[in-house]
Structure 1
């Protein structure tokens, strides 16, 4: 048997604990001394796995990869060739006032700021070391050259594409062009360019564009003007793109919001928000990005429950709201709004009219909403206005009958093939995304429930639906009523003559 000196094991244990404590203390000092990045990552690769599991294809580019994420290698070859072709065309475009060397110098100077906009996991695909990112050590010369070429090729491709669309130039006869060789390809590319992680920072695109055409701005639109023109089908504002960018126009505040967008996903989100386009000096107020409503009580004192309290505070689940067909039976009248802004939903408590702007549904609708909703969840957690809109539509659409009602009212333009597909679309969009506590439509929810609680509205609605829902029903109802009155009159006269 080995003899151990008394206390030897205890001393060894104490030394190990002291060493562990020092390691933990060192880690805590490092964490405490770490500074928050000056620029928040605005282009992130990670998507909630639960959201991606519902429809992974909605987050995946089909043809064009933008930025340093290179995980879809099968897509690279044809479009990377196309990017170089567009880069050559861009450099030879009339009016470009900078050389290739000047563009490379611009990107080199902006490289640290460009890299700071991306999530760290992007750099691992570019062979940047994790400790270089954490300690702000520049990448190697080879990686920097690769980075500069990637940014320049992607930016030139986007700018050249936007210019060809704006000037309606189409495909040159002597040039290989995978974009314009088939009529539907541009729609797929437009979809790829609004994906939340498939982006270049908007500031570098504007810098390259301004360097190219800054000497003759009168002959070229601004880059934001080009971008809005390219994404015209998502320009949901009560003013045309042409009128918005007219010289000396009064809408500089809205243009400033567009200029401040982080990337194209953020730009398209801004285009969905409500904004007043009244002339200066009018009493109209512009859209606010703060929670808009604080609901008051719907119920007499002594009858308030926990569920009612949730309804008033905006924490509204589907069971608290009626679908479109049930609301119609309760007396609510649906009307398509003349507003182009999707978020501009209004309910008139006086006549029970709910006006909703028209919404076109096609193959790109789900990727569009999914990427903007994901972007809102990560960057605007207190201002999830597009998420609130999708939740409201999901509350209204519970069955094919609801879709049929909204289609007949021209609120929904369904190009998905069936009413069931619309129900599935909105149900899937809301999966794994919790409703916000301060939903911007809380007041609308409150008013709809209050209107529904008045029985007279339901009775009048049933009378209208049963007897006056069409011209022939109305004529038949009036004829039956007249016949009944004549019969009653004849009976009374007969009784009087006895």
Structure 2
């Protein structure tokens, strides 16, 4: 029996050798994947951060018991969407979405067999994509219309002022989960189906970012994005550092450089004479160090921050080529925040805006985010950390900081310090005068 099993394995491997895909085909195959299940090694650290609480999008959480209540509203959103499509039938929408059905399936890694069936009578995957896509598009559009309910009733449980206040924030949270994404192609197809040919190419991107960041201006075009989480991540890097970091001397050994990038906490940096200032933008890339001033983008820490950052980190971990900017920023913040004292310092400097209430909770949040976090060496943040560490090791910077802390903290201390210097100067003059007088007398 064991021999037969081994024989089957040999046959399978030989078949794969015969049907070996070229490297270019493998590249294209892996390139299509962009929505992933979070591996247990990551999800087990904080299961709540990766599981939607209100609504499911896509196959990974489809029809889960605690999310079933929202399915009724998805169907209603589809009806309202079709009413505004100039009488176009649902069958035509299904045909349009079927054009990219295979590409949509390829976005998910892994995908259960129940969603892979191509039976003409089985449109469950397309039905899910259409329902989820229409609901998502309707939520985005309604949120952009602050005073109008459109063709929805004023007492609609979702698309009303009541829903905007009590339901939309939870939908927004669920829409930023990696496992709860649908491909941007779905929304593109829905907008195309409506027939607005003069649509701005950035229409969807602007609509999505207005939903998530209503007060943040958009300064660049984002082009084609994989899904909402991908677009949101890219929006966090609109600006490069406005005060470039001076690159330190790289002549030291690699071992010494590795030791240097363990950046001290905010309290220790303050003691070393480093000044904190908020960056001119909110971009995670806008971290710089120059002339003893460490600039860090201002970040709001609220109930959704943990979920948002963990899913962005998970996307960077799972998607090859996504980059590691969010992971690097979180690792950097964990380094400078050891406890609540560091949080207080960053709050006073306008870098951390604490909506959690407890400074200890903010410190605990950043300390937990970096658990099992892999950060690629290199990049602008490593240059910042190396520069900061070298600055801290210069004794003069610490002496100057202690001098300022001791004698220039308040006006009375300054007056006392100046008076002491003045008296010391008078004493020296008097001593010199006395010596000269004695010299002339002799």
TM-score normalized with structure 1 length: 0.76
Note the 1:65-144 alignment, pairs <5 A: 65-70=56-61, 73-93=64-84, 98-120=88-110, 122-124=111-113, 127-128=114-115, 133=116, 138-144=117-123
- Of the three residues 124, 128, 133, the one matched with 1:155 is 133
Alpha-carbon distance in 1 for matches of 2:80, 2:416: 70
Q: Secondary structure at the match of 1:148?
A: helix
The yes-or-no answer on 1:330 pairing with 2:315 is: no
Structure 1 partner of 2:405: 465
Note the 1:297-376 alignment, pairs <5 A: 297=250, 299=252, 304=253, 307-311=255-259, 316=261, 320-348=262-290, 351-376=291-316
Q: Secondary structure at the match of 1:413?
A: strand
Q: C-alpha deviations, 1:73-123, integer Å up to 9, x for none?
A: 233332111112222222223x65743232121122222221111123x42
Alpha-carbon distance in 2 for matches of 1:445, 1:497: 58
Q: Is the 8 A contact 1:79 1:178 kept in 2?
A: no
Q: Structure 1 residues 338, 294: closer, same or farther in 2, change over 3 A?
A: closer
Q: Secondary structure at the match of 1:405?
A: helix
Q: Structure 1 residues 452, 176: closer, same or farther in 2, change over 3 A?
A: same
Q: C-alpha deviations, 1:405-438, integer Å up to 9, x for none?
A: 1111111111111111111111111101222233
Alpha-carbon distance in 2 for matches of 1:363, 1:393: 18
Residue segments in structure 1 that go unaligned for 5+ positions in a row: 1-14, 245-253, 278-283
Q: Structure 1 residues 465, 142: closer, same or farther in 2, change over 3 A?
A: farther
Note the 1:28-427 alignment, pairs <5 A: 28-32=13-17, 33=19, 35=21, 36=26, 38=29, 39-45=31-37, 47-70=38-61, 73-93=64-84, 98-120=88-110, 122-124=111-113, 127-128=114-115, 133=116, 138-144=117-123, 146-171=124-149, 172-173=152-153, 176-178=156-158, 180=160, 181-182=162-163, 183-217=165-199, 222-232=203-213, 240-241=217-218, 244=219, 254-255=220-221, 258-275=222-239, 297=250, 299=252, 304=253, 307-311=255-259, 316=261, 320-348=262-290, 351-380=291-320, 383-427=323-367
Q: Is the 8 A contact 1:43 1:119 kept in 2?
A: yes
- Alpha-carbon shift at residue 53 of structure 1 (Å): 2.3
Q: Is the 8 A contact 2:61 2:180 kept in 1?
A: no
Q: Is the 8 A contact 1:388 1:440 kept in 2?
A: no
Q: C-alpha deviations, 1:418-459, integer Å up to 9, x for none?
A: 111111111111101222233541211221122112111110
Q: Is the 8 A contact 2:246 2:387 kept in 1?
A: no
Q: Structure 1 residues 16, 488: closer, same or farther in 2, change over 3 A?
A: closer
Residue segments in structure 2 that go unaligned for 5+ positions in a row: none
The yes-or-no answer on 1:23 pairing with 2:32 is: no
Q: Structure 1 residues 16, 262: closer, same or farther in 2, change over 3 A?
A: closer
My pick for the range that moved more, 163-172 or 353-362, is 163-172
Q: C-alpha deviations, 1:449-488, integer Å up to 9, x for none?
A: 2211211111001111122133443344334544555677
Q: Secondary structure at the match of 1:402?
A: helix
Aligned length: 426
Q: Structure 1 residues 89, 490: closer, same or farther in 2, change over 3 A?
A: farther
Q: Is the 8 A contact 2:292 2:391 kept in 1?
A: yes
Q: Secondary structure at the match of 1:360?
A: strand
Q: Is the 8 A contact 1:162 1:227 kept in 2?
A: yes
- Alpha-carbon shift at residue 31 of structure 1 (Å): 3.2
- Alpha-carbon shift at residue 491 of structure 1 (Å): 7.8
Alpha-carbon distance in 2 for matches of 1:77, 1:450: 56
Alpha-carbon distance in 1 for matches of 2:169, 2:61: 22
Alpha-carbon distance in 1 for matches of 2:39, 2:107: 19
Question: What's the Cα RMSD here?
Answer: 3.3
Q: Is the 8 A contact 2:58 2:181 kept in 1?
A: yes
